[in-house]
Amino acid sequence: MTTRATDRLRTGCKRYGPGRLPYANRPAIGAGYAGASAALVAAATFAVAVVVLEVVGGSDNVYGFAIFAAVALLLVVPAAFVAGVVSWRAVPATVPGSGVVVGVLGTLLTYVGATVLLTWLMLVAAVVSWNNAGAADTAMAAAVIGWLAFLLTSWITLPVGCLGGVIYDRVGSGPADGR
């Protein structure tokens, strides 16, 4: 990325994008916003891709996958924010390709975090509905859903996460990022 393009992207993020959000000037919080933004982009790209597959005759019931992507945002975006913060703090800036490493780590932690949130949500739903499902069964069901989500979406989330990590590493707070 050239310096001019980097400067334009930095200005755009601060003027119109996540750079306007509270505490975005803090490098780790900015990385969290970048992770959440990447999660939004990945979910939207996945939803569009499955709808396009339906239009060109790829398979049945892909609209269900598009709805899955929309509903998953409720868990994925907060998980991606936390994963972005944790990843940014965990990976030293001296690591070669640290933006890519942060992007991959953040993406993988997002799956873990969203699965944990789903587990808690399913446990609460089971208790409230007086369902006889045990905690272990509920946790296993959430883990299976998380694994299936990874298998279905990693083709888009990993590249988007890597790109988001690289862009934030270059555009974010600069070399003195406090990692």
Q: What is the pLDDT of residues 3-50, one digit of tens each?
A: 666 566 556 555 555 555 666 677 888 888 888 989 999 888 888 887
Q: Average pLDDT in the 62-85 region?
A: 85
pLDDT of residue 171: 76
Does residue 129 lie in a domain region?
Answer: yes
Does residue 130 lie in a domain region?
Answer: yes
Closest Cα to residue 157, out of 36, 29, 9?
36
Residue 125 has phi, psi (to 5 degrees) of -60, -40
Q: What is the pTM of this model?
A: 0.80
> What is the domain count for the chain?
1
Range of the domain at 136: 33-170
Does residue 23 lie in a domain region?
Answer: no
Does residue 131 lie in a domain region?
Answer: yes
Sequence-distant contacts of 40-43: CB under 8 A, at least 24 apart:
40/73, 40/77, 41/160, 41/164, 42/153, 42/156, 42/157, 42/160, 42/161, 43/69, 43/70, 43/72, 43/73, 43/76
Does residue 123 lie in a domain region?
Answer: yes
Does residue 70 lie in a domain region?
Answer: yes
| Buried b / exposed e along 55-69 (16+ C-beta atoms within 10 A) | eeeeeeebeebbebb
Does residue 28 lie in a domain region?
Answer: no
Q: What is the pLDDT of residues 44-73, one digit of tens each?
A: 888 888 777 777 776 666 667 777 777 888
Does residue 46 lie in a domain region?
Answer: yes
